[in-house]
Amino acid sequence: MLIHRPADIPPSEITPPEIYRGRREFIRAAGGLVLAGGLGLQAEHAAATKLAGTRPGPYGTSEELTPWKDVTTYNNFYEFGTDKADPARTAGSLRPRPWAVQVDGLVKRPGSYDLDTLLRLAPLEDRIYRMRCVEGWSMVIPWVGYPLGELIRRVEPLGSAKYLEFTTLADRAQMPGVRTPVLDWPYTEGLRLDEAQHPLTLLAMGLYGETLANQNGAPVRIVVPWKYGFKSAKSIVRIRFVEKQPISSWMSAAPREYGFYSNVNPDVDHPRWSQAKERRIGEFSKRKTLMFNGYGEQVARLYSNLDLRKYF
């Protein structure tokens, strides 16, 4: 069962004090938002900017947060290298401003949304999500964002729209990993429309009350906390509404190993390892993997008529 955080606790109080001690002064600029990665600093050491106006979200947990250092130095972001330490070392080359997300396809109101517009669409919420990846490690991260459904509502999907396809930035100049053929670039992912509209699916622009670090998917990404981490596309540049199920990058690269749904499921093993248990960052022993990452009460109904062993 999820334990909801009291609504009167401000986001700053959930961050351990030691994380803020000794940090550089927050960078300030017009609009109160500058992403330090754009200054050419190494991403591991870049300061972030505090996001004003955040408030607690409705799906919190009392679990201990993963320390900032681990969240920002242990990442899967193949555009910056395949080792989990690579993004923190190399993502300083990413320029997260200016940025725009093109929204098109089967919608009544297609358009291009710059970062400032995205920030104004809805109140930012500081939500604590348990995020896991297929390797068996997991984190507890306080994402800052708002439900993707807010953007979906504004663009007015047509009745024929059944899925969303996300396309991420693939710039060889900014992203050294894109110069290698490890995947067919650009990175793409997809969700069913009802999954994307679920209030747990987040359009995230920050974590720990600050703007996203480059290595965490700056400046805007998706967070789908009941699915494995690769479903949460980073550094998004396009959201396309389509009628047919999109083929994601990992489905194309290894269809036996990565299905479209990719729900956290302890009963469905990866072909090369068991997913019955997971290791949380900072813990020695493994813990039992929870169905839907512990969010079954909220999302199980989406799959009530689906065989999750077949549609993994």
pLDDT band with cut points at 50, 70 and 90 for residue 135:
low
Provide the sign of the torsion angle of the four alpha carbons 12, 16, 19, 21, taken in this order: positive
Average pLDDT over residues 107-113: 98
Q: What architecture (CATH level 2) is domain 11-303? A: Alpha-Beta Complex (3.90)
Q: Which residue has the higher pLDDT, 27 or 310?
A: 310
pLDDT for 136 equals 62
d(CA 257, CA 31): 44
pLDDT band with cut points at 50, 70 and 90 for residue 37:
very low
Average pLDDT over residues 35-41: 31
Domain ranges of the chain: 11-303
What share of the chain in percent tops pLDDT 90?
73
pTM for the complete prediction?
0.85
**Per-residue exposure over 200-221, b if at least 16 CB sit within 10 Å of its own CB, e if not:** bbbbbbbbbbbbbbbbbbbbbb
pLDDT for 1 equals 27
